Structure 1
Amino acid sequence: MNAPSASRHPYLSPDAPRVLAHRGLVTEDAAAQGVVENSFAAVAEAHAAGAAYVESDCHVTADGEVVLFHDDDLQRVAGDARRIADVRLHELEELMAGRGGLVTLGQALEAFPDVRFNLDVKAEAAAEGVGRLVAPHAHRVLVTSFSDERRRAALAAAFAAGAEIRPATSPGSATVARLVALVALRQGRRVKAALEGLDALQVPERQGPLPVATRGLIRAAHAAGVEVHVWTVNDEADMQRLLDRGVDGLVTDRADTALALVNDRRTSAD
């Protein structure tokens, strides 16, 4: 399905398909107890369910701590209008205490040494901290961002902090849009050049009316040794359909469901 294993980043071993637990895993029971996404409890639940990969997001607090948090403010998660960048770590810990517990990026990497983290750099101010923190863990981290500038800044910071290898990486939205156009125009050489230095394309199946994770894009990525991971896939029938299409990873809020499906497919194939 993909390039020979010898050419893959260690993050992408063993073979696909991969289940990436989107912001951890919050089951109905956990949600009823107040647990929220990207909390320590959500990451722990994903790990307990057997997820080898956790997708999360990085912001930085007022006192410079990189935390796992998707939104740039606390409104949706905690009913607090303040921005993450304006809140100190101890304040955020207090707010998250009854919601599954805050987890910093450093804590996540240390507490879950066998989990591979897919990290979306959400804020420019977080890029340097993300790179520095993941440097010793580059073999099990993929760095991405909607902004290629933020993504590259985090990768550069990882090397500056002594990373022995580059973290795996997936491109920003501008690069993805360019790739979709090049594939549609059958510009094979330019597609291959645009995929250089990438390990995965992490994309939605569609962007509005525009198909993104097409068979053509998947074939082009695979020809270059690059995986295709689709987000955010929560319906079991959609999971089956996309895996049948050849995608290598599912980013999902229902990691438990996706893991069961992937295991069943592997058993059936044996």
Structure 2
Amino acid sequence: MGKLPKVVAHRGSSDDSPEHTLAAYRRAIEAGADGLECDVRLTADGHLVCVHDRRIERTSNGHGVLSTMRLAELEAFDWGSWKNPWADLDDEADLPSPDLRKVLTLETLLSTVRDAGRPVELAIETKHPTRYAGLVERRLIEALDRYGWAHPKVGTESPVRVMSFSWLSLRRLRVLAPGLRTVLLMDRVPLRFRDGSLPTGVSYAGPSLEIVTAHPEYVDRAHKHGHQVHVWTVNAEADVRHCHDIGVDAIISDRPAATLKTLAQMSALRG
């Protein structure tokens, strides 16, 4: 029986709680997730916030382009009601927690990881293109430096790794923090990397579920080049089982509790 893949909560336990809210991440930690995944974008006044989309309409009751807004503006919006729009009409429901509705800063998420009470990894995706270009990576390294996580000492690893679809973003990070692990996200594998290799300095491969479903042999190819394979976004039980069977190293899922349960069942049956 091979080693179980790690389970990384995609935007927190986002199947259960509003994505990128503190509540979603706390739920993932309580469920036993090995790691958390978030996206980061830079506000107009220089704060990194955990939001996936360029525009804020899908996950808040506000409107506009995030990068044109200051943090205080974003904090005035509700970032959770879209998940359960009828909650306010339920007289028997508890009052909504601010953790379900407030925009989440990266700083708050970093402190949550630090204070989790057990080792928890954090995979941070930089979103590009953006009007701020390399300023995103500089602000990210500054934030990680405050926790001692940007430049791990020899023989140690930071709990943080940075992911991006942008090679340029990962190249900037290699210059700013050469000891930090990086993941190249791929919705298709470029021809030159189909042998399992990656750009110079990139630590891990981050293929989509569709890639490893159509080409399961890619996992072995990446392993032969010394690279871990972290697959996104894996929610169905059959896909979790497939990812385990082909030997992926990490499963990124909206449903970390269910994914952990499936892996535990597989371990019990095959162990």
Listed as ranges, the matches of 1:175-186 within 5 Å are: 176-180=189-193, 182-183=194-195
Q: What do the CA deviations read for 1:145-177 (whole angstroms, capped 9, x no partner)?
A: 111101222343335xxxxxx221112549942
**SS of aligned partner of 1:170:** strand
- Say if 2:121 is the partner of 1:116: yes
**SS of aligned partner of 1:74:** coil
Cα 1:169–1:73 change in 2 (3 A) is: same
Q: Is the 8 A contact 2:137 2:172 kept in 1?
A: yes
Corresponding position of 2:208: 204
- Say if 2:161 is the partner of 1:142: yes
Q: Percent identity?
A: 29
TM-score (ref. length: structure 2)? 0.77
Matched letter for residue 206 of structure 1: E
Q: What do the CA deviations read for 1:106-130 (whole angstroms, capped 9, x no partner)?
A: 2211122132111110043422111
Q: CA RMSD in A?
A: 2.6
Matched letter for residue 226 of structure 1: H
Matched letter for residue 137 of structure 1: W
Q: 1:57 aligns with which of 9, 20, 39?
A: 39
1:71 Cα deviation after fit: 0.5
Corresponding position of 1:158: 177
**SS of aligned partner of 1:137:** coil
Cα 1:179–1:47 change in 2 (3 A) is: farther
**SS of aligned partner of 2:230:** strand
Whole-Å separation in 1 of the counterparts to 2:34 and 2:203 = 17
Q: What do the CA deviations read for 1:22-75 (whole angstroms, capped 9, x no partner)?
A: 1001354x4xxxxx2011111111111111211110101111001111101101
Q: Structure 1 regions of 5+ residues with no counterpart?
A: 3-14, 31-35, 160-165, 184-190
The structure with the greater share of residues assigned to helix is: 1
**SS of aligned partner of 1:76:** coil
Q: Is the 8 A contact 1:131 1:158 kept in 2?
A: yes
Whole-Å separation in 2 of the counterparts to 1:128 and 1:154 = 8
Cα 1:21–1:174 change in 2 (3 A) is: closer
Q: 2:71 aligns with which of 86, 89, 92?
A: 89
Q: 2:7 aligns with which of 6, 9, 19?
A: 19
Q: Structure 2 regions of 5+ residues with no counterpart?
A: 82-99, 151-157
Corresponding position of 1:133: 143
Number of aligned positions between the proteins = 234
